[in-house]
Amino acid sequence: MMAAVGSLQLAVALIAVYVCVLAWATTIESKHGAAAAHVGVYDAGWFTAINVLLAVNVLCAALIRLPWKRRQTGFIVTHAGILVLLAGCLVSLWGGFEAQLPIFEGHTAGRAYKESHHRDLPRDEVALGFQIHLHKFRRKLDP
């Protein structure tokens, strides 16, 4: 059972679905804005299910190779990194928020502004609990 869940074939299928969904979400975001992409894709239960299925696949792929050998270090580090990224997706979904921090050169800011998912509602102000000071802003353009 664990070998089937951790199989390369399932990983390829899940990653192909993931790529298609992310391309679709990017199209939605470019045409209708970030709020539409969040409501239609990123905050949807089915997208969370894809993330969880991919995480279970990656975890099983690593666990079926126990005990790990020294030559598998790259494999283990790579799969652990993928699991950390997918866990970060869940943490952002359940406890994170998207906001903007307007700050000008030489000034300090301690409040961010959350975008409302409804365009007629005002933006929520969020106290960060700390201050950020922007000393100097540099922009380098490649030739």
Q: Quick one: pLDDT band at residue 26, thresholds 50, 70, 90?
A: very high
pLDDT of residue 109: 93
Q: Is residue 82 within 8 Å of residue 58, measured between CB atoms?
A: yes
Range in 49-58, 90-99, 124-133 with the lowest mean pLDDT? 90-99
Residue 84: is it exposed, middle or buried by C-beta count within 10 angstroms (0-12/13-18/19+)?
exposed
Q: Is the pLDDT of residue 116 over 70?
A: no
Residue tagged 């299910």 (tokens): 49
Please state, in angstroms and rounded to a whole number, the distance separating the CA atoms of residues 93 and 51.
Answer: 11
pLDDT of residue 34: 83
* More reliable by pLDDT, 140 or 116: 140
**Angstrom distances, CA of residue 60 to CA of 48, 52, 73, 120:** 18, 12, 16, 46
Q: Quick one: pLDDT band at residue 72, thresholds 50, 70, 90?
A: very high
Identify the DSSP state of 70. G
| Mean pLDDT value of segment 108-131 | 78
pTM: 0.74
pLDDT of residue 93: 86
